[in-house]
């Protein structure tokens, strides 16, 4: 299936996070982690290099622990497809400060660019609606991403899931630390918790 | 081999609730389970604890890591059959040295009626140990209460990843 978007993923993530303020961000393994790092390392970032399927759920635990902060789970279509059940769990938990943004290139980009389920007609926003999410949208242009960034900064009645359709490409990797203990302690220190 | 009888005088779910509250646990995730039903009810009625019902056990591993990032302690309740679902996600707790406390009721051992529970029952402890968890096990109510108290300290104070296995004899024979 042809890709329906010409949007560059790095430009999209840069536009999404340009004015992130104190938003906490968890990124799913693979390209979303590289995308997040490419727009600037940040103490409020927790990068995954594994734990596939878990990014949105780490976001849930974090959102529940920090109800006064906005939490963004930035992930890919493959990672979120693996965690479909988690969308039901998040829908039931109904956090008002958690947004999931899926950078959707409709392919499994890390493993040879095989077409993913979203490239074969599966609609993650429709699944999120069925799970009781408060808002969803699919965007395909930079202007729409810029409007999405404004929407994400505003309060919500419950969890939201947004899909950003992007070109299927692998831009040069931008690699954060792979030391999970370091990233964890840095993140907690950013929130004012002592390192272990 | 000495095998003490369970002590029906001890209300162990209430004791576990007391211990976990004393340990400042603020989040609880669970997959529905008869052995944990009383503990699930007590946490669900507690306005100071956020509870999440899961579609599959590994979701709770990720939630516990997120809770810790945000400064809260989380406990995860499941059956031994669910341990098999968790193995890859447990790499998150292991590599990130995230505190983790899982309370696992055993199936497939004492007076089990369902042979399909047997393979995962045999695999529960070795697979948890293979991915890097410390496994503790209790067969009596007294031992379970002490074990969970120690496990909570190990997990939350010493950044360890702990599974406490609750012997099926302690749960009682399932009526079929």
pLDDT in tens, B130-146: 999 999 999 999 999 99
The per-residue pLDDT for A5 is 85
The per-residue pLDDT for A168 is 95
Domain-embedded: residue B127: yes
Q: What is the pLDDT of residues B15-59, one digit of tens each?
A: 999 999 999 999 999 999 999 999 999 999 999 999 999 999 999
Identify the DSSP state of B29: E
Please tell me the distance from the alpha carbon of residue A110 to that of residue A87, in angstroms, as a whole number: 23
Domain-embedded: residue B75: yes
Q: Please report, in angstroms and rounded to a whole number, the separation of the first and last CA atoms in chain B.
A: 29
Find which of B62, B90, B153, B157 to mutate to test the A interface (most A CBs within 10 Å of its CB).
Answer: B62
Domain-embedded: residue B85: yes
Domain-embedded: residue B2: no
Q: What is the pLDDT of residues A124-165, one digit of tens each?
A: 999 999 999 999 999 999 999 999 999 999 999 999 999 999
Q: Domain A9-191 in CATH: superfamily? A: Thiamin diphosphate (ThDP)-binding fold, Pyr/PP domains (3.40.50.970)
Q: Which residues pair with B79 in a beta bridge?
A: B105
Residue A1 pLDDT grade (very low, low, confident, very high; cuts 50, 70, 90): very low
Q: What is the pLDDT of residues B78-101, one digit of tens each?
A: 999 999 999 999 999 999 999 999
Any chain A CB within 8 A of the CB of B25?
A: no
Which residues, numbered 36 to 75 in chain B, qualify as contacts with chain A under a Cβ-Cβ cut-off of 8 Å?
50, 52-56, 58-59, 61-72, 74
Task: Please state whether A6 falls in left (phi above 0), alpha (psi between -120 and 50) or beta.
Answer: alpha
- Closest by CA position to A54, among listed B133, B154, B54: B54
Rounded to the nearest 5°, which phi and psi values hold at A70? Answer: -80, 140
Q: Which residues pair with B53 in a beta bridge?
A: B30
Q: Which residues contact A136 (CB under 8 A, 6 or more apart)?
A: A125, A126, A128, A129, A160, A161, A162, A163
DSSP conformation letters of B78-139: EEHHHHHHHTTTHHHHHHHT--EEEEEE--SSTT---GGGHHHHHHHHHHHHHTT-EEEEES
The per-residue pLDDT for B8 is 63
Q: Which residues contact A109 (CB under 8 A, 6 or more apart)?
A: A30, A31, A76, A78, A168, A169, A170
Q: Which of B59, B70, B98 sits opposite A85 (nearest CB)?
A: B59
CATH number of the structural domain spanning residue B42: 3.40.50.970
The Cα-based distances of A54 to A96, A148, A188, B2 in angstroms read: 19, 23, 19, 43
Asked if the Cβ–Cβ distance from A89 to B55 is below 8 Å, we say: yes
Residue A176 pLDDT grade (very low, low, confident, very high; cuts 50, 70, 90): very high
Q: Which residues contact B24 (CB under 8 A, 6 or more apart)?
A: B73, B156
Domain-embedded: residue B133: yes
Asked if the Cβ–Cβ distance from A63 to B96 is below 8 Å, we say: no
Please tell me the distance from the alpha carbon of residue B166 to that of residue B152, in angstroms, as a whole number: 15
The Cα-based distances of B96 to A48, A125, A196, B99 in angstroms read: 10, 31, 12, 9
Assess whether pLDDT exceeds 60 at residue A22: yes
- Closest by CA position to A188, among listed B154, B51, B159, B59: B159
State which residues form the domain around B78: 13-171
Domain-embedded: residue B81: yes
> Cα angle at A11 between A114 and A3, to 5 degrees?
30
Assess whether pLDDT exceeds 90 at residue B173: no
Any chain A CB within 8 A of the CB of B96?
A: yes
State what percent of residues in chain A have pLDDT above 70: 97
Asked if the Cβ–Cβ distance from B69 to A92 is below 8 Å, we say: no
**Hey, how many other C-beta atoms are within 10 angstroms of the C-beta on B121?**
18
Q: Are B64 and B77 in contact (CB under 8 A)?
A: no
Average pLDDT score, chain A: 96
Q: For residue A172, count CB atoms less than 10 angstroms from its CB and return exposed for 0-12, middle for 13-18, buried for 19 or more.
A: exposed
Domain-embedded: residue B8: no
Q: What is the pLDDT of residues B55-76, one digit of tens each?
A: 999 999 999 999 999 999 999 9
Break chain A into its structural domains and give their ranges. Answer: 9-191
Count of domains for chain B: 1
pTM of the entire structure? 0.95
Asked if the Cβ–Cβ distance from A196 to B92 is below 8 Å, we say: no
Q: Are A94 and A132 in contact (CB under 8 A)?
A: yes
Please tell me the distance from the alpha carbon of residue A115 to that of residue A103, in angstroms, as a whole number: 14
Q: A76: helix, coil or strand?
A: strand
The per-residue pLDDT for B174 is 65
Domain-embedded: residue B73: yes
């Amino acid at each position: 299936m042809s890709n329906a978007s010409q949007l560059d993923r790095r430009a999209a993530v840069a536009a999404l996070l340009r004015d992130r303020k104190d938003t906490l961000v968890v990124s799913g393994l693979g390209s979303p982690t590289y995308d997040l790092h490419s727009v600037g390392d940040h103490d409020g970032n927790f990068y995954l290099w594994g734990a596939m399927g878990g990014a949105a759920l780490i976001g849930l635990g974090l959102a529940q622990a920090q109800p006064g902060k906005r939490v963004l789970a930035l992930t890919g279509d493959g990672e979120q497809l693996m965690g479909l059940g988690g969308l039901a769990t998040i829908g039931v938990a109904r956090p008002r400060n958690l947004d999931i943004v899926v950078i959707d290139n409709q392919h499994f980009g890390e493993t040879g660019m095989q077409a993913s389920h979203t490239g074969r007609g599966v609609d993650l926003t429709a699944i999120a609606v069925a799970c009781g999410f408060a808002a969803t949208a699919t965007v395909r242009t930079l202007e729409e991403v810029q409007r999405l960034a404004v929407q994400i900064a505003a309060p919500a009645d419950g969890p939201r899931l947004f899909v950003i359709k992007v070109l299927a490409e692998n831009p040069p990797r931008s690699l954060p630390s792979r030391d999970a203990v370091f990233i964890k302690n840095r993140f907690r220190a950013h929130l004012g918790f002592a390192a272990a | 081999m000495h095998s003490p009888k369970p002590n029906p005088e001890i209300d162990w779910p209430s004791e576990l609730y007391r211990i976990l509250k004393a340990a400042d646990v603020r989040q609880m995730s669970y997959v529905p389970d008869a052995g944990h039903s009383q503990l699930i009810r007590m946490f669900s009625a507690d306005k100071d604890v956020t509870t999440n019902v899961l579609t599959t056990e590994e979701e709770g591993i990720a939630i516990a890591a997120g809770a810790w990032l945000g400064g809260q302690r989380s406990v995860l309740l499941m059956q031994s059959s669910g341990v098999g679902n968790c193995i890859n996600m447990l790499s998150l707790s292991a590599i990130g040295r995230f505190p983790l406390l899982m309370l696992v009721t055993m199936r497939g051992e004492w007076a089990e009626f369902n042979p399909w529970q047997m393979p995962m029952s045999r695999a529960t402890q070795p697979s948890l140990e293979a991915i890097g968890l410390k496994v503790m096990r209790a067969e009596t109510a007294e031992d379970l209460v002490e074990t969970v108290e120690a496990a909570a300290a190990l997990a939350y104070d010493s950044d360890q990843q702990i599974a406490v296995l609750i012997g099926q004899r302690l749960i009682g024979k399932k009526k079929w």
